[in-house]
């Protein structure tokens, strides 16, 4: 059994010129279905705040994921992951894109070569994702700007 909530967005070309756009946000917990194998054309940050599971990237190695942890899903990189089928996990995720991702990667904030990053505390990342979820309310005229700013904060 699992619970899920997610919203996806289609930012305009004008918003893309800001350098970073949020494409989606989700909050999930429980014994979630396995994801993949798949390859994306954009970035996703998955914050696991409770529980454990596994991740398998392009190299085929299976890595244990123990909360708190961050999974980097980067464009063009095959990945496959899942929560422990017996206990599940709590995750929050953000899909994002834009030319600023190149700079964040160069600065070391996005780590394509380190797809599973242990965290000392998931609370700050979860707070940024919660701001994105709140901005996803129906009819929010500032959706793209608020969510983009929160992605910058998350990174």
State yes or no: pLDDT of 86 exceeds 90: yes
| 104: DSSP letter | H
Q: Give 64: exposed, middle or buried? Use CB within 10 Å, 0-12, 13-18, 19+.
A: exposed
Peptide bond into 37 cis (omega under 30): yes
Query: Residue 51 has what pLDDT?
Result: 98
Mean per-residue pLDDT of the chain: 97
Q: Which residues are registered as beta bridge partners of 94?
A: 25, 45
State how far the Cα of 111 lies from the Cα of 143, in Å rounded to an integer.
27
pLDDT band at 91 (very low <50, low <70, confident <90, very high): very high
CA 42 to chain CA centroid, nearest Å: 10
What pLDDT is stored for residue 149 in this prediction? 97
pLDDT in tens, 122-139: 999 999 999 999 999 999
What mean pLDDT comes out for the span 91-99? Answer: 98
Domains and their CATH numbers in the chain: 2-154 (2.60.120.10)
- pLDDT score of 147 more than 90: yes
pLDDT at residue 1 greater than cutoff 90: no
Question: Nearest to residue 116, comparing CAs of 148, 150, 72, 77?
Answer: 72
Phi, psi (deg, nearest 5) at residue 54: -150, 165
| Arithmetic mean of pLDDT, 8-20 | 96
Structure confidence by residue, pLDDT tens digits, 19-70:
999 999 999 999 999 999 999 999 999 999 999 999 999 999 999 999 999 9
CB 22 within 8 A of CB 11: yes
The SS3 of residue 40 is: coil
Which two tokens mark 20?
């970073």
- Using a cut of 0.85, tell me whether the model's pTM lies above it: yes
| Contact assessment for residue 41 and residue 62, using Cβ atoms and an 8 Å cutoff | no
pLDDT tens digits, 101-123: 999 999 999 999 999 999 999 99
């Amino acid at each position: 059994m699992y619970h899920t909530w997610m919203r996806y967005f289609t930012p305009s070309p004008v918003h893309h010129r800001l350098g970073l756009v949020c494409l989606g946000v989700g909050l999930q917990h429980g014994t979630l279905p396995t994801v993949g194998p798949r390859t994306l054309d954009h970035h996703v940050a998955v914050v696991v705040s409770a529980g454990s599971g596994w991740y398998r990237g392009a190299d085929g190695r299976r890595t244990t994921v123990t909360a708190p942890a961050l999974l980097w899903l980067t464009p063009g990189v095959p990945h496959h992951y899942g929560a422990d089928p017996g206990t599940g996990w709590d995750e929050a995720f953000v899909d994002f894109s834009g030319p600023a991702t190149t700079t964040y990667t160069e600065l070391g904030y996005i780590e394509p070569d380190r797809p599973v990053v242990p965290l000392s505390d998931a609370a700050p990342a979860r707070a940024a994702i919660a701001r994105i979820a709140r901005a996803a309310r129906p009819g929010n005229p500032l959706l793209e700007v608020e969510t983009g700013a929160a992605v910058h904060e998350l990174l």
